[in-house]
Structure 1
Amino acid sequence: MKYRQLTKEQFESLHEDFARFLATQSIDVKEWNQIKAEKPKVAEDEMNVFSDVVWDDVLTKTSYVEHFSKISVNLFKCDTEEIHRIAIKINWDINLLEQKGFEWLMQNPMDDSVDIFKGTKPYNSERNPEIFDLIEKGSSISKGEIFEYFNRLIS
């Protein structure tokens, strides 16, 4: 398996897509129920393959990822060949996970207590697994507004 199996909730929200996926392998509902009952390993394998297909699709479409902690922000722009990072660290007691702290940062990005670093590097291996790793470590897919805001400020 390339990524991880989708959660039960994710499978439920994608049940029609999963049914189409099974149909491409000539597996109907009756046969799927039989496979689940009699060959749980085969059912698990099918769910894993479907999960990888879904994750690959989502990750291929992902352009921005961000991770917030109490006093830092990591913003990523995921291009085809390389990943760009803007790291922001606040040097005083603030909580960026709260609205008040986030708003302070957005209104005071050039304050002396704000350190901003920017870097770019090629992917170590494949693009999608590296983005997946960031998500598994707590990052969220974003639209990129915050990345682009800070990128304009420091360029």
Structure 2
Amino acid sequence: MKYTRLSLQDLKDLEKEFVEFLVLNGIPADDWERLKVKDSDKVEDIIDQFSDVIWESVLRKTEMVEHRRRDKLTICRVAKGELVTLLIRSSDRDLDFTKPEDLAKVLKDIDKHEVSIHNDKIEKPETEQLFELLQVGFYISKDPEYVKLLDERKK
């Protein structure tokens, strides 16, 4: 397995897609019901394969992830074999980056805050790099303000 298995709730939410996955892999409903009773190892393998397909699909569409802590915001974008990391900190201890209203204040007046950017070459597939970031607490972001910040501060 390349990624992690989807949770039971994820599988329930993706039931339609899972049924399509089974059909595409030549497993009709009757065969699936028999497998669930007679071959739990095969069932586990199929669920793992489906999980990888879903993760791969999501990760291929993902360009940017973020991680917020009270005292900092980290934004990462993976593209063309490179990991671009933008770190924003504030000396204002009253600001909390986990609060949307405080984050909006910081982004509106970004020049009053400490901003650093790092470019690192990655040796693994971009999807795997993104997955590793998700595993350590980042989450997918599509915030256009972040894209603008990254583009403005490219090295």
TM over 0.5: yes
- The structure-2 alpha-carbon separation of the partners of 1:61 and 1:98, relative to structure 1 and needing over 3 Å to count, comes to same
**In structure 1, C-alpha distance between the alignment counterparts of 2:143 and 2:17, rounded to whole Å:** 28
Report the count of equivalent residues.
153
Q: Distance in 2 between matches of 1:19 and 1:72?
A: 42
Q: Give runs of aligned pairs for residues 1-155 of structure 1, distance below 5 A.
A: 1-93=1-93, 94-111=95-112, 114-151=113-150, 153-154=152-153
Gap change, CA 1:65 and 1:71, over 3 Å in 2: same
**Does structure 1 conserve the Cα–Cα contact (< 8 Å) formed by 2:81 and 2:123?**
no
CA-atom RMSD in angstroms? 1.7
Which ranges in structure 2 are unaligned for 5 or more consecutive residues? none
Asked if 2 retains the 8 angstrom alpha-carbon contact of 1:76 and 1:147, the reply is no
Aligned counterparts of 2:127 and 2:36: Cα–Cα separation in 1 = 30
Secondary structure of the residue aligned to 1:110 is helix
Amino acid in the other structure paired with 2:127:
N
Q: 5+ unaligned residues in a row in structure 1: which ranges? A: none
Q: Identity of aligned pairs, percent?
A: 22
Q: CA deviation at 1:74?
A: 0.9
**Change over 3 Å in CA distance of 1:125–1:153 after alignment to 2:** closer
Which stretch shows the higher mean deviation, 43-52 or 96-105?
96-105
